[in-house]
Structure 1
Amino acid sequence: MSSPTPSRYPDLPVPRTQSVSEFEVLHSAVGKTPYTPSKPRRRASDPEHDSKAAYRAAISAVVSAKARPFAVSGRVPMDPAHLTLFFRSKSGICYALDFPVDVDVDMPPALDMLISSCLPHPSVNGYPENETLFYPPTLPLTATLELANHPILDAVRNTLFPTLPVGHYLTAIRDKLEIWPKGNEVTAQSRPLDNRVATILVTLPVKFRGGSLVVRSPDGSEEKFYGRGGKGGDMEWAAFMSDCDYEIQPVRSGCRITLSYAVQLKSFGPSGLQPDPLINPSDQFLDKLSPVLNLSRGRRIAFYLTGEYGVNPGEVLAESLVPNLKGGDSVLYHALKLYKLAPELRWTAGGFVWPVDQTVEIVNENADSPTNSIGRQSLSGYSNGSRGMPPIRGPFSSSASEPGEDETDDLRHKVMKSGGIPLAETDIQILSDHVTFPGIVAREKVPFVSAMGEMEKLVVNVLLVIYVP
């Protein structure tokens, strides 16, 4: 066997693959002299060393850019001949502008009227060759381009908002049309003072040269998009975060026309990053809820949720369900918020209720168990129901059968130790239909180890609790 080849760069540390599975140890600084890095010594120029350093710097730049992308671009798969822009001039005459357009070959009369109807952006550097323009927001404007027909918002969400919680959605509202003629002034566009989270800029199929879109993030990073379309005439779109500045570089020939959209964040639930729900309860539902609230003044009341959400109450808080509420649960929550109340979700089971900030974490106290946490309990002794359980006669229920009195007492002890409070000791009054009680209620399951060593599941319901002042 040949000996390993010595490193070509003995003065550099041996490169190794970074892995998140490696241990990270923080050493205490008590009793130690703080380390002061010495000034690097100058060394003679080494082409190989410089090449290695440049390579590492390039890797660092890619990793930093990948960590938080602030802009993204793509193509609109649409034939430009199918795009038409409808607008009305200041004189009240309506026009239709067909695409594609090459102003150096033929200037359409409709484009002339569009330019004459626009207003100039405020000038910064004196008197440019041509002012940049925008179409007045007070005049009607529409286009046959519908973003909903293209997966642009999905691309924006996946790239710029990868950690957006479930139940939150992006919507796009047409913002303004801007025209950048030949020799335009380079002016950084001011950030809009609205609740948008991003901006989409679609470059309409008008032939031009130059006019690159430059987007700058708050930390000074820069992205550049050219907007020249694809081989088949596809239009280019670019999206960037709302805290970014952008500008259009000088157009050397032709004319660049962009249509911008404001991307806003919506949700079906009335909480989250920006609580702005997409639904509203009907007047009929509010009329039915109003007398209940009037007759419950000064009380803390609760409703059972009815949906199935597939979560483990031993791992998550009940409040985490708010963005995912569906059906009648979502309608009721929205209605209570309209009445300026503060609803909260709590776990409940067997006549017990958990505080809003606690999970249903049932601890296994069996000494023979390898661990005392249900989340890490070994399932080696689980017999898949091979041993029968006594019939249920208590307020608790499991996925297999009902426990006997001894097991009910043991389970009640575990529930109280996990933070469960008897409903009788609280001021919560559960409102339900006495005819169909308990009716259809949410049933989430918490695994636990019974006194017999079996793996069982405690059925837990969800209460929507409010105080009516």
Structure 2
Amino acid sequence: MPLSTISSISTSSTSSHFSDGLPFPRNQSSPDFEVETSLSKAPLAPSQARRRRTSDKDAEAVYRSSVSALVTAKTRPFTVCGRIPVDPTALILFFRSKSGITHALDFPIDVDYDMPPSFDVLISTCLSYPPPAPSSFPETGALFYPPNLALTATLEIANHPILDAVRNTLFPALPTGHYLTAVRDRLEICLKGSSRSVQPRPSDNRVATIVVTLPVRFRGGGLVVHNKDGRAETFYGRGGKSGDMEWVAFMSDCDYEVEMVQKGCRVTISYAVHLKTFGPSGLQPNPLISPSDQFLDLLSPVLNMSRGRKIAFYLNGEYGVDPSEVLAESLVPYLKGGDSVLYHALKLYKLSPELRWTAGGYVWPVGQTVEILNEVLDSPPISPSKRMAFSLLNGTGMRHVPSVSVPLSAPSEPGSDEGEDLKTRVEKSGAKPLADEEIMLLSDATLSGPVTKERVPFVSGGELEKLVVNVLLIVYIP
């Protein structure tokens, strides 16, 4: 899978801070700040290609594959997980048996040491899942509580920011005025030696499902979630140990199954997440989510093969900020979707990611906004009739974004080159070439997902132009 990587872009020199042995081509910025990166436009010379060892090519192929898998997972997350800070001793489950008697079940539970009588009643009340095929036998031990019987718990997910985390990660582009609500779906029990095969998807118009693991000790029983593209993530969790309770959420177009429980008993309560449009809807830098093991497994080889380098990824979300008034770093508490997952995954590795504004192969310092200052106070009037955006292309073309307001610069002098004039203004504003900062940008040109873009207006030749500004997530790998 071809990758498009912009690493050391400079208009003043063709040299690079990296050796030619790196698997990412170097491209120069054109004077008008339009860059279209393509692997075919930066081939190795024949003599260089002959000197490349097979082991080097294999390492490059692995690196490219790892970056592609990571970028794909970041662009389209379909699961999210986290923990609920609840004391398991304060959790009580109330249910009604087939005889009409109400029982209360206290937690935590370890069936290998003590089987509460009410838990026996709960198991006997549950029903077996139907066989996955008409000719097969029912799944022994894979049970669910009858939906027609009363069931309630002292746990209320509405008291915890789970829905906020689900919206932030799985539905980052949800319009204003649309909200998520959760309705308890069913209680499921997998006894020792049992598993749960993929069942037909519910037809209740849900947009996602949340699965909360209750504090009952078990071993094995991993939750496997499959999305429509064939990708899968497995959540093993802590096996119902005492402490924070775990939850996993996934999109409604995903299938899930439970691997065989090797020891103990796995008990979960699932919730159907629905989209509503009623009611109106804190700045917390602490994440509401935890990256999945599968995402960390995709990130790990990229980090291992990037040691000693400063790598960067484009952000994908739309944040609607003014680059001339806010720092890119101030977006951290508002990160959503795959941007949030990647940022907090890097934090788990004890790294120090940072956000910076970038455009046309230049990057602004982490503590600086994108301001192109006025050089001449008596500027001619701005004509709104002609507008052109200078865009940084990433393999698939330009994307339209709404304009933002920033201080305007002076117009170009008659006869001057507009591209060079813009380059000079960008450099005077404090931006540095990516080559000087030794930043290697990792991206996948085959993906057509969105890239975070804001437009910075400026005056050139008496006309209003707009420079497309992106956001980079940059981290140094020691």
State TM-score, norm by structure 1: 0.51
Q: Partners in 1 of 2:141 and 2:190 — Cα distance?
A: 8
Q: Which residue does the alignment assign to 1:205?
A: 215
Instruction: Please tell me whether the aligned partners of residues 210 and 270 of structure 2 are also in contact (alpha carbons under 8 angstroms).
Output: yes
Is 1:67 the counterpart of 2:67 in the alignment?
A: no
Contact kept? 1:88, 1:141, Cα under 8 Å:
yes
Q: Pick from 9, 17, 25 the counterpart of residue 14 of structure 1.
A: 25
- Measured after TM superposition, the shift of residue 247 of structure 1 is 0.3
- Tell me the residue number matched to 1:445: none
Secondary structure of 2:168's aligned partner? helix
Distance in 2 (alpha carbons) for counterparts of 1:229 and 1:259:
15
Distance, in Å, in 2 between the alignment partners of 1:9 and 1:192 is 52
Superposition deviation, residue 188 in structure 1? 0.6
Q: Deviations over 1:410-454 (max 9, x none)?
A: xxxxxxxxxxxxxxxxxxxxxxxxxxxxxxxxxxxxxxxxxxxxx
Output the CA distance in 2 between the equivalents of 1:138 and 1:182: 26
Paired residue type of 2:382: P
State how far apart, in whole Å, the 2-side matches of 1:269 and 1:149 are.
17
Residues 1:85 and 2:85 aligned together: no
Cα distance in 1 for residues equivalent to 2:206 and 2:77: 17
Aligned partner of 1:48 in structure 2 is 56
* Paired position in structure 1 for 2:34: 23
* Distance in structure 2 (CA, Å) of the matches to 1:52 and 1:190: 42
CA contact (8 A) 2:90 2:107 kept: yes
Q: Is the 8 A contact 1:198 1:241 kept in 2?
A: yes
Q: Deviations over 1:115-144 (max 9, x none)?
A: 100110012374477331110010000000
What is the distance in 2 between the residues matched to 1:69 and 1:207?
29
Encode CA deviations 1:149-206: one digit per residue, 9 max, x unaligned: 1110000010000110011111000010011111114411221101110000000000
What SS does the corresponding residue of 1:115 show, helix, strand or coil? helix
Q: Aligned equivalents of 1:227 and 1:218: distance in 2?
A: 23
Change (3 A) 1:379 1:50: closer
Q: Which residue of 2 aligns with 1:194?
A: 204
Q: Quick one: which amino acid aligns to residue 144 of structure 1?
A: T
Shift of 1:25: 6.4
Q: Which residue in 2 is equivalent to 1:172?
A: 182
- Check if 1:260 corresponds to 2:254: no
CA shift for structure 1 position 4: 7.8
What is the correspondence of 1:242-257 to structure 2 with a 5 Å cutoff?
A: 242-257=252-267
Return the alpha-carbon distance in structure 1 between the equivalents of residues 177 and 272 of structure 2.
20
Provide the C-alpha distance between the structure 1 equivalents of 2:60 and 2:157, rounded to a whole number of angstroms. 45
Shift of 1:373: 5.3
Check the 8 A contact 1:229/1:235 in 2, yes or no: no
Q: Does 1:76 align with 2:84?
A: yes
Structure 2: which amino acid aligns with 1:228?
R
Alpha-carbon shift at residue 55 of structure 1 (Å): 1.1
d(CA) in 1 for partners of 2:252 and 2:118? Answer: 32
Q: Is residue 157 of structure 1 aligned with residue 157 of structure 2? A: no
Structure 1 residue 370, shift from structure 2 partner: 2.7
Once the two structures are TM-superposed, the CA of residue 7 in structure 1 deviates from its matched residue by 3.2
Partner of 1:372: 384
**Per-residue deviation, 1:56:** 1.5
Q: Is residue 147 of structure 1 aligned with residue 192 of structure 2?
A: no
Assess if the C-alpha contact under 8 Å between 2:83 and 2:246 holds in 1: yes
Q: Contact 2:217/2:239 (CA < 8 Å) preserved in 1?
A: no
- Per the alignment, residue 148 of structure 2 pairs with 138
Q: For structure 1, which runs of at least 5 residues remain unmatched after alignment?
A: 27-40, 271-367, 381-469
How far off its partner does 1:46 sit?
Answer: 1.4
Report the aligned-residue RMSD: 3.6
Q: Which runs of 5+ in 2 are unaligned?
A: 1-14, 38-48, 281-379, 387-402, 409-478
Cα distance in 2 for residues equivalent to 1:218 and 1:237: 21
**Equivalence map 1:179-328=2 (5 Å):** 179-228=189-238, 233-268=243-278
Question: Which whole-Å CA distance do the structure 2 matches of 1:190 and 1:18 have between them?
Answer: 52
Q: Over alpha carbons, which structure has the higher Rg?
A: 1
Contact 1:200 1:263 in 2 (8 A): yes
Aligned-partner Cα distance in 2 for 1:372–1:176: 59
Q: Distance in 2 between matches of 1:263 and 1:233?
A: 25
Specify the SS of the correspondent of 1:190: coil
Distance change >3 Å, CA 18–CA 173, structure 1 → 2: farther
Which residue pairs with 1:107 in the alignment? 115
**Secondary structure at the counterpart of residue 236 of structure 1:** strand
Distance apart, 1:227 and its partner CA: 3.0
SS at structure 1 position matched to 2:62: helix
Q: Secondary structure at the match of 1:189?
A: coil
**Native 8 Å contact 1:130 1:182 kept in 2:** no
Q: Deviations over 1:386-416 (max 9, x none)?
A: xxxxxxxxxxxxxxxxxxxxxxxxxxxxxxx
Deviation readout 1:279-321 (Å, 9 max, x if unpaired) = xxxxxxxxxxxxxxxxxxxxxxxxxxxxxxxxxxxxxxxxxxx
User: Helix, strand or coil for the counterpart of 1:372?
Assistant: strand
Does the Cα contact within 8 Å between 1:79 and 1:233 map onto a contact in 2?
A: yes
Amino acid at match of 1:51: A
* Number of equivalenced pairs: 265
Query: Alignment identity in percent?
Result: 59
Cα separation, 1, equivalents of 2:112 and 2:28: 55
- Separation in 2 of the partners of 1:170 and 1:8? 50
Name the CA distance, whole Å, in 1 between partners of 2:260 and 2:226: 17
Shifted more, 61-70 versus 228-237: the winner is 228-237
* Secondary structure of the corresponding residue to residue 62 of structure 1: helix
Cα pair distance change 1:129/1:187, threshold 3 Å: closer
How far, CA to CA, are the matches of 1:242 and 1:81 in structure 2? 32
1:229 and 1:236 in contact (8 A); partners too: no
